[in-house]
């Protein structure tokens, strides 16, 4: 029974084997995939085998406990020295444990069948990996080991099945009326099986050794179980004490149940209120779900708008980067323009100096004035041709250097002219030519400077326009950022509201579940109370039926007693008449001493009768005056016409209410009267 250790040995560690096999895997991808699938199947089979073996090993503990309990029950059944309640309790526990063991064994058997199918599938998958060589042989050996362990575990399951079947038979035997004969039959069957096992052990010594080893282990387990049994007995005593306490608690709970019965109506009303609250909560939940769906849709729309705004911001960022590049280029151009302006200012200064020098030269040379006028006219004509020279503004920068050089030469020549006034006339022609060329160059420079100023103005205008565009873009970017911040804040608030709504939904769900559970409990309590009410109503109906039967019986007895009372009243009336007649006859004859009603005997008789009637009146004053009308009628029937006094009628009415006890008292009084009168009294008629 301990062969499950073999299964545990075969299981091993699948991860190490997988790593060992992956070291020998070929390089092609198809082989790797097949190998991985087969190894997954093998690891699954190994894990399933380990699970089944561990579960089977765990089943041996209840099996040994059931064997020990079966032996105890059989010993109790054979010795007849047992308490019936303990025996029934042990039989019930044995039945419950055996049924649990049977269900677990069936479940494990079905699991083994599924595992066998998995092994067959694994064999089919491994058969496709024959080209792997050594790996195929390793996997095949592993699969064979798993099959052997499966066979061993199935053998163990069959043994456990046989034991569980025996347990079921013993339970049926104890449940049957002739359970002692069934136990004897089971004992004989067990003895026959043990004899057969002994014969088979003699034939198979190896199996006998194995069985001896198993028996040693079972003995050790039995010792362990005996210890556990002693502990369980102690626990049983403690449980008995607890049961006693529980009985007291149950008695108190029965007292409290009456209080709970009073609170049942309150629970019904509370259940109705809770139903209304639950309906309201369900409506609120539906509204919350609707709001959640709307918020989710709004959130998706806001996310879409955020994405669009982010794309717009990115496009605007790209445009800003382009504008920054253009600004940098404009700054570079501004620097170049400033350098050009400085150069133009220097040229203007040099021109002014040259003009002053020319004026001085004109003052010294009158002949040069005419030429200077011509030069001025030429300058005017050149000013008119400024618009034509705008096209040549690009070459002005290159000619500025030449103009500076020529100006330097002119200044040197003018200085030389100042020093030598005599040589001016000769050089006037050359100077005029040079001056013309210089004026042309100056005009070109002015034109180029004006063109550069116009270009600079255009650049300033473009820069101003760009600055305005940048400011507009910045304002738009700020607006977009504000919008994004507002949308982010809205998203945060929406997420917070969603979280709060989720928390509220969870709380509401928990509350709904609690209300449903409370409703179920209320319904259960209603059903239990209804059952108790039905049982109590049945008891009350039975008691009412019994009371009705008793009432009819008592009414019959009362009717019989009233009839007897009427007869007794008649006889009493007759005895009174006889007594009065006897008294009258004695007075007439005068044979005896006078016996009058005033005598002490008569007075004593009358007083005794009066006392009896008074006592009867006092005893029947507590009863209800049900039969007053009947009594009056009967008194009118049985009394003689016109001769009865009121006291006699009262005595007759009250005599009808007498019970048996009072009737006996009346009979005693009548007998006393008879003895006093010394006349025969027909007692037999009574």
| Same domain, residue pair 370 and 494 | yes
Q: Looking at 453, 476, 509, which one is the last position of a domain?
A: 509
Termini Cα distance of the chain? 94
pLDDT at 567 over 80: yes
8-22, 115-129, 496-510: which has the minimum mean pLDDT?
8-22
| Same domain, residue pair 504 and 560 | no
Residue 623 DSSP class: S
pLDDT at 463 over 70: no
pLDDT (average), residues 218-239: 68
* Distances from the Cα of 254 to the Cα of 247, 257, 521, 538, angstroms: 10, 5, 19, 20
Here the tokens at position 495 are 């997420």
Among 321, 442, 430, which residue's Cα sits nearest to residue 389?
442
pLDDT at 630 over 80: no
Q: Out of 295-299, 336-340, 589-593, give the one with best mean pLDDT.
A: 295-299
Q: Looking at 133, 168, 203, which one is the last position of a domain?
A: 203
Contact at 8 Å (CB) between 30 and 64? no
What's the mean pLDDT when you consider all of the chain?
66
| Same domain, residue pair 477 and 362 | yes
pLDDT (average), residues 454-468: 69
CA quadruple 299, 301, 307, 308: dihedral sign: negative
| Same domain, residue pair 373 and 428 | yes
Among 53, 164, 158, which residue's Cα sits nearest to residue 100?
164
pLDDT band of residue 643 (cuts 50, 70, 90) is very low
With a CB cutoff of 8 Å and minimum separation 6, the contacts of 166 are: 70, 186, 190
- Residue 533 CB neighbour total at 10 angstroms: 12
pLDDT band of residue 556 (cuts 50, 70, 90) is confident
What is the gyration radius of the CA atoms in the chain, in angstroms?
68
Contact at 8 Å (CB) between 79 and 33? no
Contact at 8 Å (CB) between 449 and 396? yes
Distance (Å, rounded) from C-alpha 238 to C-alpha 241? 5
Q: Out of 31-40, 236-245, 483-492, give the one with best mean pLDDT.
A: 236-245
70-84, 105-119, 526-540: which has the minimum mean pLDDT?
70-84
| Same domain, residue pair 154 and 12 | yes
Residue 77 lies in a domain: yes
Residue 587 lies in a domain: yes
pLDDT at 196 over 50: no
| Same domain, residue pair 597 and 504 | no
What are the counts of helices (DSSP H) followed by strands (DSSP E) for the chain? 15, 0
Question: How many CA atoms are closer than 13 Å to the CA of 393, on its beta-carbon side?
Answer: 18
Residue 94's H or E segment, with its range, is helix 84-127
| Same domain, residue pair 21 and 114 | yes
Distance (Å, rounded) from C-alpha 407 to C-alpha 199? 145
78-82, 504-508, 600-604: which has the minimum mean pLDDT?
600-604
**What is the biggest distance separating any 2 CA atoms in the chain, rounded to whole angstroms?**
233
pLDDT at 102 over 80: yes
pLDDT at 61 over 70: yes
Residue 242 lies in a domain: no
Query: Reduced to 3 DSSP states, what percent helix, strand and coil does the chain have, rounded to the nearest 5?
Result: 90, 0, 10
pLDDT at 625 over 60: no
Contact at 8 Å (CB) between 467 and 331? no
| Same domain, residue pair 463 and 597 | no
pLDDT at 114 over 80: yes
Q: Looking at 489, 509, 529, which one is the last position of a domain?
A: 509
Contact at 8 Å (CB) between 52 and 155? no
Distance (Å, rounded) from C-alpha 419 to C-alpha 435? 19
For the segment 351-384, what is each residue's pLDDT rounded down to a tens digit? 677 667 667 655 665 655 565 566 566 555 655 6
pLDDT at 655 over 70: no
| Same domain, residue pair 586 and 498 | no
Residue 241 lies in a domain: no
Among 160, 174, 164, 194, which residue's Cα sits nearest to residue 55?
160
Phi then psi for residue 590, to 5 deg, are: 60, 25
With a CB cutoff of 8 Å and minimum separation 6, the contacts of 299 are: 491, 494, 498
CA quadruple 286, 287, 288, 291: dihedral sign: positive
Residue 639 DSSP class: S
Here the tokens at position 366 are 């009158």
Residue 152 lies in a domain: yes
pLDDT (average), residues 448-461: 70
Residue 25: its pLDDT value, please? 40
For the segment 281-316, what is each residue's pLDDT rounded down to a tens digit? 787 778 877 888 877 887 788 778 778 778 877 877
State the pTM of this model: 0.27
pLDDT at 551 over 50: yes
154-158, 198-202, 397-401, 493-497: which has the minimum mean pLDDT?
198-202
Residue 232: its pLDDT value, please? 64
- Residue 134 CB neighbour total at 10 angstroms: 9
With a CB cutoff of 8 Å and minimum separation 6, the contacts of 485 are: none
pLDDT band of residue 639 (cuts 50, 70, 90) is very low
**Residues, the chain, total?**
686
Among 21, 25, 61, 28, which residue's Cα sits nearest to residue 42?
21
Q: Out of 196-200, 347-351, 416-420, 523-527, give the one with best mean pLDDT.
A: 523-527
Distance (Å, rounded) from C-alpha 280 to C-alpha 641? 87
Residue 577 lies in a domain: yes
Distance (Å, rounded) from C-alpha 680 to C-alpha 676? 11
| Same domain, residue pair 120 and 64 | yes
| Same domain, residue pair 338 and 485 | yes
Residue 585: its pLDDT value, please? 57
Residue 374: its pLDDT value, please? 64
DSSP helix/strand/coil, 81: coil
The domain total for the chain is: 3
For the segment 392-419, what is each residue's pLDDT rounded down to a tens digit? 656 656 665 676 666 666 667 666 656 6
Residue 93 lies in a domain: yes
pLDDT band of residue 249 (cuts 50, 70, 90) is confident
pLDDT at 441 over 50: yes
pLDDT band of residue 458 (cuts 50, 70, 90) is confident
Domain that holds residue 423: 319-509
CA 88 to chain centre: 41
Residue 367 lies in a domain: yes
| Same domain, residue pair 562 and 427 | no
């Amino acid at each position: 029974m301990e062969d499950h250790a073999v299964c545990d040995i075969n299981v091993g560690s699948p991860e190490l084997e997988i790593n060992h096999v992956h070291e020998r895997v070929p390089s092609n991808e198809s082989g790797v995939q097949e190998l991985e699938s087969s190894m997954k199947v093998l690891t699954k089979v190994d894990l399933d085998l380990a699970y089944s073996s561990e579960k089977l090993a765990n089943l041996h503990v209840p099996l040994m406990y059931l064997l020990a309990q079966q032996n105890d029950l059989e010993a109790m059944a054979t010795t007849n020295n047992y308490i019936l309640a303990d025996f029934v309790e042990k039989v019930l526990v044995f039945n419950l444990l055996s049924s649990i063991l049977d269900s677990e064994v069936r479940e494990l058997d079905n699991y083994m069948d599924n595992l066998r199918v998995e092994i067959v599938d694994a064999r089919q998958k491994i058969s496709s990996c024959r080209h792997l060589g050594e790996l195929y042989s390793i996997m095949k050996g592993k699969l064979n080991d798993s099959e052997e362990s499966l066979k061993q575990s199935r053998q163990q399951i069959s043994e456990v099945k046989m034991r569980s079947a025996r347990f079921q038979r013993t339970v049926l035997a104890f449940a049957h009326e002739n359970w002692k004969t069934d136990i004897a039959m089971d004992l004989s069957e067990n003895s026959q099986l043990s004899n057969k096992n002994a014969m088979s052990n003699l034939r198979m010594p190896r199996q006998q050794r194995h069985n001896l080893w198993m028996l040693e282990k079972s003995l050790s387990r039995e010792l362990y179980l005996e210890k556990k049994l002693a502990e369980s007995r102690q626990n049983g005593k403690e449980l008995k004490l607890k049961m006693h306490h529980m009985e007291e608690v149950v008695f108190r709970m029965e007292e409290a149940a009456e209080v709970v019965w009073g609170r049942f109506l309150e629970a019904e009303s509370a259940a109705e209120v809770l139903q209304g609250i639950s309906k309201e909560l369900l409506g609120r939940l539906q509204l919350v779900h609707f709001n959640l769906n709307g918020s989710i849709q709004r959130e998706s729309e806001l996310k879409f708008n955020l994405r669009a705004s982010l794309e717009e911001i990115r496009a605007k960022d790209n445009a800003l980067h382009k504008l920054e590049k253009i600004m940098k280029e404009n700054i570079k151009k501004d620097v170049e323009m400033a350098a050009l302006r400085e150069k133009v200012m220097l040229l203007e200064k040099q021109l002014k100096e040259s003009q002053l020098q020319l004026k001085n030269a004109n003052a010294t040379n009158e002949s040069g004035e005419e030429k200077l006028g011509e030069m001025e006219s030429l300058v005017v004509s050149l000013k008119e041709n400024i618009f034509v020279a705008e096209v040549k503004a690009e070459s002005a920068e290159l000619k500025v250097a030449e103009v500076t050089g020529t100006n330097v030469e002119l200044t040197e020549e003018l200085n030389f002219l100042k020093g030598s006034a005599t040589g001016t006339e000769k050089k006037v022609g050359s100077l005029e030519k040079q001056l013309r060329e210089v004026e042309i160059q100056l005009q070109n420079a002015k034109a180029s400077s004006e063109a550069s100023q116009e270009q600079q103005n255009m650049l300033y205008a473009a820069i101003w326009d760009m600055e305005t565009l940048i400011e507009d873009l910045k304002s738009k970017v700020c607006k977009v950022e504000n919008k994004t911040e507002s949308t982010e804040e809205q998203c945060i608030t929406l997420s917070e509201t969603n979280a709060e709504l989720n928390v509220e939904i969870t709380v509401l769900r928990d509350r709904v579940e609690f209300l449903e559970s409370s409703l179920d409990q209320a319904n259960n309590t209603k059903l239990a109370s209804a059952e108790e009410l039905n049982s109590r109503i049945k008891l009350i109906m039975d008691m009412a039926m019994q009371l009705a039967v008793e009432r009819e019986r008592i009414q019959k007895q009362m009717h019989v007693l009233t009839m007897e009372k009427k007869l007794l009243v008649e006889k009493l009336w007759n005895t009174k008449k006889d007594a009065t007649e006897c008294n009258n006859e004695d007075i007439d004859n005068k044979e005896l001493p006078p016996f009058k009603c005033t005598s002490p005997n008569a007075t004593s008789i009358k007083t005794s009768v009066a006392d009896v009637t008074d006592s009867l009146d006092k005893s029947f004053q507590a009863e209800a005056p049900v039969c007053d009308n009947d009594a009056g009628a009967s008194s009118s029937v049985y009394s003689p016409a016109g001769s009865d006094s009121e006291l006699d009628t009262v005595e007759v009415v009250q005599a009808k209410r007498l019970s048996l006890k009072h009737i006996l008292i009346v009979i005693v009084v009548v007998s006393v009267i008879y003895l006093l009168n010394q006349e025969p009294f027909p007692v037999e008629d009574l």
